[in-house]
């Protein structure tokens, strides 16, 4: 009886995620900083697991960063998104999957606002027609890319070549996850597990053999803060928030950080470099940092994809200690090659943060 009651309560935190046929829109931040993650989202879903994910070259930014930096009016942001919906409709899809948490939050906010204020939706339809001569249907299903990866986590586990387990001890790796604020803090019912029990990332980590670690500031913002990062004068805000998270997670000795949001893996990676350079402090073992991975990067590692194909060389925190811990093979000499194995200049090294 008690178990059934819990199941009923838990049902309120579930999200319907269709299994197939998605219209895909990319993330500005991820294309710049983690382009291989987007490539492997498509490779895993399409090529390895046979799902239909459609992309058109004609989609653009959702303008979410500009909107949350308060540089454009709400109706401009809404009409840009309405155009994305029009491209989805024209392509014959009714499910939209976005690679970006800011976009996911933006799309969700727009759909919810239109639901409450239909006259605004009508106005945006008129404006889109006037500007672009396009019409649209609203998506029946809206997902973040991690929702889909969460749904496919079992299929990924079945094909896994590695598990998130220490080769030396046989113990599960200690994983901390960072959901990203705009995934479910604004509209909890739109995220898997809501804002209280978000399991979109912890579900993946556990399915692939890891142990999820709780820590006091688990749900604290990574510190992006939009204008608080994009304006050079404000970046202390961003750094301070990340610092708070690292100080909080440090006693729990995580092996890796699994992230959801486009900006979060960047900030949780780069601010470790800055803290090391400013204060001489590092949070990993032996002078290294704690690797912060995207869910595609982690899925790719589990599936046996070459770490340098996954783009793990464009993290500032070295990934090699984690690869060694799991027992993943890699060729150090290929880390910084260009296209077609071309040798190019290698990056400089930080002063304090240890890199390979």
Partner 1 sequence: MGKLYDLLSRDYRFKEGLKTCINCGTCTAICPAAEFYKYDPRKILDTVQRKDEAEIEALLKSDTIWYCGECMSCVTRCPRGNAAGLVIMSLRNLSAQLGYFTCSEKGRQLWPLTKMLTGNILHTGYCVHPSTFNPDDHPESGPVSRWVIENKDEVFGRLGANYQGKGPGALRRIPQEDLDELQAIFDVTGGSERIAAVEDASRRKAAEMGMDFDEYTKYTFEHCSPGHFNNE
Q: What's the rounded Cα separation, in Å, for the pair 190 and 185?
A: 9
Tell which phi-psi region holds residue 155, choosing left (phi > 0), alpha (psi between -120 and 50) or beta. alpha
State the nearest-atom distance from the C-beta of 199 to partner 1, in Å.
16
Structural tokens at position 345: 């200049």
By beta-carbon proximity to partner 1, the closer residue of 135 and 171 is: 135
Contact between residue 36 and residue 271 where contact means Cβ atoms under 8 Å apart: no
Taken in order 276, 282, 286, 292, is the CA torsion positive or negative? Answer: negative
Query: What is the nearest approach in angstroms of partner 1 to the Cβ of residue 147?
Result: 19
Which one, 30 or 151, has the nearer CB to partner 1?
Answer: 30
The DSSP 8-state label assigned to residue 173 in this structure reads P
E strand or H helix that includes residue 93: none
Grouping H, G, I as helix, E, B as strand and the rest as coil, residue 140 is coil
Tokens of 106: 């933006």
| Nearest residue to 25 via CA among 227, 262, 221, 203 | 262
- Closer residue to partner 1 in complex, CB, 147/296: 296
**Comparison of 157 and 356: residue with beta carbon closer to partner 1:** 356
Helix runs in 185-284, H state only: 200-207, 227-230, 235-249, 263-279
Please say which residue, 210 or 263, places its beta carbon nearer to partner 1: 263
| Closer to partner 1 by Cβ: residue 33 or 150 | 33
Query: In the bound complex, what is the minimum distance in angstroms from residue 103's beta carbon to partner 1?
Result: 10
Min CB(198)–partner 1 separation in Å:
11
CA 333 to chain centre: 28
Q: What are phi and psi of 171, to 5 degrees?
A: -85, 150
């Amino acid at each position: 009886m008690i178990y059934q009651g819990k199941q009923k309560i838990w049902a309120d935190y579930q999200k319907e995620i269709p299994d197939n046929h998605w219209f895909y829109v990319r993330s500005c931040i991820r294309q710049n900083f983690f382009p291989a993650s987007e490539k492997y989202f498509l490779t895993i879903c399409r090529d390895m697991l046979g799902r239909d994910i459609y992309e058109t070259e004609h989609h653009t930014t959702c303008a979410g960063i500009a909107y949350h930096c308060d540089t454009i009016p709400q109706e401009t942001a809404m009409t840009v998104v309405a155009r994305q919906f029009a491209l989805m409709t024209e392509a014959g899809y009714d499910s939209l999957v976005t690679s970006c948490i800011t976009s996911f939050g933006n799309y969700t906010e727009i759909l919810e606002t239109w639901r409450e204020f239909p006259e605004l939706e009508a106005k945006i339809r008129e404006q889109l027609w006037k500007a672009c001569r396009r019409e649209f249907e609203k998506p029946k299903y809206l997902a973040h890319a991690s929702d889909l990866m969460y749904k496919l986590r079992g299929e990924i586990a079945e094909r896994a070549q590695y598990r998130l387990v220490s080769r030396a001890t046989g113990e599960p790796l200690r994983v901390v996850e960072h959901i990203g604020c705009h995934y479910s803090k604004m509209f909890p019912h739109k995220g898997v597990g809501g804002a209280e029990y978000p399991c979109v990332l912890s579900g993946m980590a556990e399915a692939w053999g890891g142990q999820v670690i709780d820590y006091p500031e688990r749900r604290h913002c990574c510190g992006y803060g939009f204008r608080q990062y994009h304006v050079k004068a404000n970046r202390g805000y961003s750094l301070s928030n990340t610092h708070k998270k690292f100080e909080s997670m440090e006693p729990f000795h995580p092996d890796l950080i699994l992230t959801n949001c486009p900006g979060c893996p960047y900030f949780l990676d780069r601010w470790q470099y800055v803290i090391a350079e400013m204060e001489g402090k590092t949070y990993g073992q032996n002078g290294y940092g704690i690797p912060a991975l995207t869910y595609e990067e982690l899925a790719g590692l589990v599936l046996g994809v070459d770490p340098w194909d996954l783009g793990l060389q464009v993290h500032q925190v070295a990934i090699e200690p984690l690869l060694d811990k799991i027992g993943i093979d890699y060729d150090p000499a290929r880390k910084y090659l260009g296209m077609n194995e071309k040798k190019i200049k290698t990056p400089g090294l930080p002063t304090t943060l240890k890199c390979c």
